Structure 1
Amino acid sequence: MDGEEIVTVLRCGGCKETVSEPYIVCVDCRPAQVQICLQCFSKGTQFGSHESDHAYTILRNDFALFENNWTASEETVLLDTLSDCGYGNWSDAAQRLRTKNKEECKRHYNQSYINGAIPVLPQFPDWSQQVYPQPLVYKLCDDPPRFPDSSVLHQEMGGYMAARGDFNIEYDNFQELEIQSISFDEDEEIDELEERLQLAVLDVYLRCLKQRGRRKMIVRKYGLINLSKVQSSNRMYAHSITDVVDKLRVFMRLLSPLEYDKFLKGVHVEKELRLQIKRLQECRQNGIIHIRNTNIYKTLKKRRQVTKTQINLLSEILGHMNDNKACQTWLQRQVVLNTISKGVTAPLPVIPRRPAPPLDIVGLPGYDKLTESEREMCASIRLVPDAYLEFRSVMTTECAKAGSLKLSQARNMIKIDVNKTRRLYDFLLSEGHINKDPL
């Protein structure tokens, strides 16, 4: 009507609220115009025939076409106003725009569309003139493939005959033998129990036929005959969800192949998003609040790890500085490791164990009862004085009874490290507390 402005209000198909730029327009739902706001789009909202995996376009008109201070949406309002009201109605154009006055509207329109007109929009090539007719090539269907009967691939297909569309060996293949002797002759009289038994056998056979049909339907519907296709479909999933795919395989029968693939793709995307969120949380915990700074953080993190490794190597070599032989062996080991990293195999030298430092036994119980030589021996083999006195008493008593004491006998009596037992035995033998041979 005259004097009234007709405004088209676009509403979101999910929440029914008015959409504002930028918003999403579904491409697969054409010719029906489906608009989705950013909030519903981020949640994957589905309604009617629209699904969350449809192709889409982000509609936004906040870019400049001719002048930097004139957006595409303002250009559209200006052209629509002049088309409705006529050339020269700059006041109406400024009233609708609300961001420009009438002098700016007049100057921009005359300069961009009349006086200094430039090519309007990018020109796309005419694809209709570049289409060349090509003959259609017909070939036999290779899904499922038709392999020779004697080939290994034919055996892997489980006896499926592609030309007949059937299996060579059916499910429960000998079920027909159970019904071959059943006959229903009107002239022959049979009792009620036998008739019910025959009907029960036929009912079992009918259920077997239904099970055969169901299994064939599953095999054909999911493409389980084509072994190469099954293997390729298993390889298309990422390694991060391989364990999930194996666990969900039993639920394949509940969904169609397309729905099952969509579901697994959603699981993969969810896992990738969780991993990305974890990385973002790590960056946020380290004070990174801008995406552009994450690359710097990753570089510094790698550098810090390399520095930490170098510090560990330095502390390791400092630990072998006191022992010249251990230090030399450690350096040889590092040279061999560098050689192996370049593809050359070489045996790794074994780093000798560093001897344990002497035990500080001063002030321990029984310390005052030891001689100077006994104190040095206990400290070197890291044996407390009370234990030494007990072991000495046991060994000397046994030697007095038997007249002699062998090393093997001492090891049976004293349940400690065999090297400590040998050194203790040798020390007592040298001090004259025990003797090896009978007197």
Structure 2
Amino acid sequence: MTQPADVHEALSLRPLAAADWDAWYDALEVAFGETESPERRALWRALTEVDRSLGVWDGSVPVGSAGAFSFRMAVPGGALLPTAGVTMVGVLPTHRRRGVLTALMRHQLDEVHERGESLAVLTASQPAIYGRYGYGLASWQLAVRIDRSRVQVARTGSADDRIRLRLADPARASAACERLYARRVSLRPGMLARSPGWEQLPLLDAPSEREGHTALQCVLAEDQRDGELLGYARYSLRAAWQHAGAAGQVRVREVTTATPEAAAALWAYLLELDLTETVVAENLPVDDPLLHLVSDPRRLSSQLSDSLFVRLVEVGDALSSRRYAAPLDVVLEVADEFCPWNAGRWRLHSAGRLAGAQCEPTDAPADLALSVRELGSAYLGGCTLAALAAAGLVRELRPGALAEASAAFAWDVAPWLPHGF
């Protein structure tokens, strides 16, 4: 049994037992100040990996929690790497500033390292917290609110001729949608392969969470010629009326497409639904096709939010496992106080996009100096090392090294996390 650092000896940290899940999760809800629907709670219980979940207990009372999911995440180049999805992290307000969170993070990262997972990721309710543990902001998400009367979607005649739209029951269409989703995962860094059970998350539709919207709906975009599924959208509607007429809302939950024609057809469908005034989507990639399909991008009323934070648990393996957009040969001086096995100099070299990479410890002079947090931010290719250097977070020690490494780490598709965990 591991004791949290700098806390009273009455507190103990131990793995979660299945029988303690309800009390453990109750404490998490208190820490977050919210009570989830029975449907959502039941799903999280089914998905919880008890052997990867930790609790801090004050006597018989759970006061802190942290868990992890065993994910496979896409990285630049298309590899799906075993990744710890850090989740359900919370501390009761009565036990803050007593070392509980640090103890949970310490124990968890040690376990991730022992399991051989080179990456850990999370979404942060309080982003300021996790930098101290080496997590760097690696991807953003785009939210839009569209006045549909002011926007049109560009479509071609060939797209209309090829694509057939069909409404389908979300649950019955789920298997086909999941097969399409699975084919798309490796194409965008940050996407997660969905293991059995996770297909239920995008279908979750608790009546208490609808906020006046209809039940979840699904529209399929199929090839007219052979019926192949080329895309789908999940959404709901909320009716509203004003003196001037209908003012309903379309809430877009997910749009996944395999072709440009399917993207155009589905977004046109969503923006042309009768009796609606606005279309809202809370989580799109920052390079979503919608930005280029609409006639007036100013009418999107877009907003950026932080999304996925990445932590390199094993620097050598993580940097060797992705591809690089350009050749590079650079020595990185990495600072990592929380996981000291990463600290030191690493030589990273690759012949470019079509080649693999190697990252090994070295005694050679350093070309760039940065912390593991900045490596996490740059890892998926959405944040450049040059931008981090402009903020004073990366230091160039060899002239030219920054431009070389920044170009190599960048990727042509923005990283994106399609759903939370």
Q: Which has the higher helix share?
A: 1
What's the TM-score once normalised by structure 1's chain length?
Answer: 0.18
Q: In terms of Rg, which structure is larger?
A: 1
What's the TM-score once normalised by structure 2's chain length?
Answer: 0.19
Q: Which has the higher strand share?
A: 2
